[in-house]
Amino acid sequence: MSTATAANTETKPPAPAVETVRVKVDGRVVDVPRTLPDWQGKPQPTTMLQACAIAGAEVPHYCYHPKLPIAGNCRMCLVEFGTPMMGPDRKPVLSEDGSPKIARSVLPYEPGTPRGAIACATPISPGMEIYPSSPATKQMREAVLESLLINHPLDCPICDQAGECKLQEYSVEHGQAESRFAEVKVHKPKQVDLGPRIMLDDERCVLCTRCIRFSRDVAQDDALGIVNRGSHNSIAAFPGRQFDNNYTLNTVDICPVGALTSKDFRFRMRVWFLKETRSVCASCATGCNILISSREESVYRYEPRQNDAVNACWMCDSGRLNYKWIGREDRLLNVRSSRSGARAWAAVVAEIAETLRSAPQGSVAVIASARQSTEELYLLKKLAAHLGALTDSVERLGEGDGFLVNADRNPNTNGARMTGICFTEVGIQIPKIAQGIRSGRIHTLIVFGEDVTRHGIDSETLSKVSTLIVSDILPNETTRRAHFLLPGCAYAEKRGTFVNAKGRLQRFLKAVEPRGEARPEWEFLQELVHQVTGENLGPGFEALFNRMAKDVPALASAGVEWGKVGDLGAPLTL
């Protein structure tokens, strides 16, 4: 392993020398790259804000967002800075000790020297000095914040953003304890219906235009603008038009205040109660990285998690709202065997193992959903290989939008291909399996996470199967017919990995406890495989993953390990 790593580093071409600029941040010398990628990834001159971030000094901002074009309208990131002073001879003026004299922008300033500038849009220049914590900077911030708060309603107790609100945070850090504003605040409409998923509170808006820039430049649906410019300016869509593209909820994420709220999450839970778990969206093969917010074993919302290799900071609304089934009332909760009437996991698994051990080679078929985790598919493949079983998965196609929604709506098709559950073309074996059942050659069918009656094996064929082993989350025709029913877990309830459309292995972690008696599929599959094949793939999840990482060629060649997958996943060569 270590030699391989060494070889890797040797063969890697040395990183091209980055052109750097030397600046001072709060008196500390920092070398920062001359250019950095902008929101589209194109190199652009590094700004003061980025230089400060590299130096570890946070500059407060509202309108600036690394994944959006720069607008520079909130003025919150104003900083004092200085540039080397130039003499009339266009040569730097030197101070007594020989160092270049810096023309500070502090007021009262000498004519011809710069004043405070917005850090988000001002490129750095050699020799520049930035003072993100100087008294002048603090004064500017205080003033900007005071101006933003003049008409802010201060209704934090009823505001959904409270707890993750930049206005709150900066008020604490840079604001004043008391308002000097004695006049009547300007009131604007509240509860404005912008679209099917978005509600706007104009009073809270700080007009940073992040939402406008997002919908114009990222979502390519230029639907928002500012109307009534002046005291009563407000964000709006054209009258009669809905703000309803499939990415609207991202504007709620990037809204630094509580102006844009999600109609789905609105008034459902205060954010400080929510536990955040790193996970991956399972609504399509893109595999957007997400954070699952949960409290007391129920999921409240999904939010995108930044991963520039997959989804940047965004995710689609359809994926984001696709979590409600996890807490559905009709979830399968109880394990059962309708053969023996056993209702305990150990007994049912033992009974299945007994049945499978006595099954003749080739009499078993496995249909496993590409919504199962890679580990589960690997275990099923192990089982299938031992029993000489046909395996396949079910294709689930929709329409892709060329951005984040993939046409393949299964999150783990590539995982299924990699582990050998299905082939490049998904679902070609299913007619063969159906034929096998009808001919009586196949009499044991293992189904994981699919309603096969809707995917090529009708209920009449299914009734010919003498042993039907089904694991699923919600009830359907197949689970009703199952001889052995094993309640499984939603991906929010277990650990695992998906391989997305681009072949990136991404892990998801457990956010909530499984409902009822449901257990993670990998857990009981591990036991089942052990009992049927005698091969122990445990103990525990990490051992299973690492074993799989050695067994599956695509993973082995990438040299992945559970401890190395990380939050951003690992690219594989398919």
Partner 1 sequence: MTFTIPRELEAELDELATRYPQKRSASLMFLHALQERFGYVSKEAVEWTAAKLGVQPIHVWELVTFYPMFRQEPAGRHQLKVCRTLSCALGGSHKLYRHFCDRLGLDPNKHGLQTTKDGKFSVEFVECLASCGTAPVMMRNEEFHEGVSCEQADALLARCS
Partner 2 sequence: MIIKRTELSWLERMYFPTLWSGLRVTARHFYDTLFRGGRVTMEYPEQRWTVPEGYRGAPYLVKDAEDRTKCVSCQLCEFVCPPKAIKITPPGPAVDPTTGNVEKRPREFEINMLRCIFCGFCQEVCPEEAIFLMKDYSLTGLSRKEMIYDKEKLLSLGGVHNDQIRKWKKKEAEAASQEAFKPE
State the residues that interact with partner 2 by CB under 8 A: 153, 156-158, 162, 184-192, 227-228, 232, 234, 236, 239, 262-270, 272-273
Place of tokens 């031992």: 386
Q: 223 touches which of partner 2, partner 1, none (CB within 5 to 8 A by kind)?
A: partner 1
230 binding partner (options partner 2, partner 1, none; Cβ < 5 to 8 Å by kind): partner 1
* Minimum CB distance to partner 2, residue 185 (Å): 7
We find the least distance from the C-beta atom of residue 389 to partner 2, in angstroms, to be 47
Between 223 and 430, name the residue whose CB sits nearer to partner 1.
Answer: 223
Q: Which residues bind partner 1 (CB under 8 A)?
A: 222-230, 236-241
Q: Which residue has the tokens 């073309």?
A: 425
**Of residues 16 and 240, the one with the C-beta less far from partner 1:** 240
Decide which of partner 2, partner 1, none touches 22; Cβ closer than 5 to 8 Å per partner kind: none
Minimum distance of partner 2 from residue 153's CB (angstroms): 7
Closest approach of partner 1 to the CB of residue 235, in Å: 10
User: Closest distance between partner 2 and the C-beta of residue 240, in Å?
Assistant: 8
DSSP 520-547: -HHHHHHHHHHHHH-----SHHHHHHHH
Rounded Cα distance between 334 and 344, Å, is: 9
Q: Is 433 helix (H, G, I), strand (E, B) or coil?
A: helix
CA dihedral 565, 566, 571, 574 (to 10 degrees): 30
Residue 300 or residue 378: which is nearer to partner 2 going by CB?
A: 300
Q: Specify the residue, 133 or 245, whose C-beta has the smaller distance to partner 1.
A: 245
Least distance in angstroms from the C-beta of 239 to partner 1: 6
b/e for 376-407, b at 16 or more Cβ within 10 A?
bbbbbbbbbebbebbbbbbbbeeebeeebbbe
Q: Which does 225 bind (CB under 5 to 8 A by kind): partner 1, partner 2, none?
A: partner 1
Contact 73, 58 (CB under 8 A): no
Residue 162's CB: how many other CB atoms inside 10 A?
A: 16
Q: Residue 86's binding partner, choosing from partner 1, partner 2, none, with beta-carbon cut-off 5 to 8 A by kind? A: none
222 binds, among partner 2, partner 1, none (CB under 5 to 8 A by kind): partner 1
Nearer to partner 2, 181 or 267 (CB): 267
Q: Toward partner 1, which CB reaches closer, 28 or 241?
A: 241
Least Å distance, CB 72 to partner 1, is 19
Cβ burial, residue 72 (10 Å; 0-12/13-18/19+) = middle
CA atoms within 13 A on the CB side of 39: 17
Q: 367 with 510: CB under 8 angstroms?
A: no
191 binds, among partner 2, partner 1, none (CB under 5 to 8 A by kind): partner 2
For residue 233 the two structure tokens come to 């300016």
Residue with tokens 């309803």: 244
CA dihedral 247, 253, 258, 260 (to 10 degrees): 0
Q: Which is nearer to partner 1, 237 or 332 (CB)?
A: 237
State which residue, 186 or 350, has the beta carbon closest to partner 2: 186
**CB of residue 433 vs partner 1: minimum separation in angstroms?**
52
In this structure, how many other beta carbons lie within 10 angstroms of the beta carbon of residue 293?
20
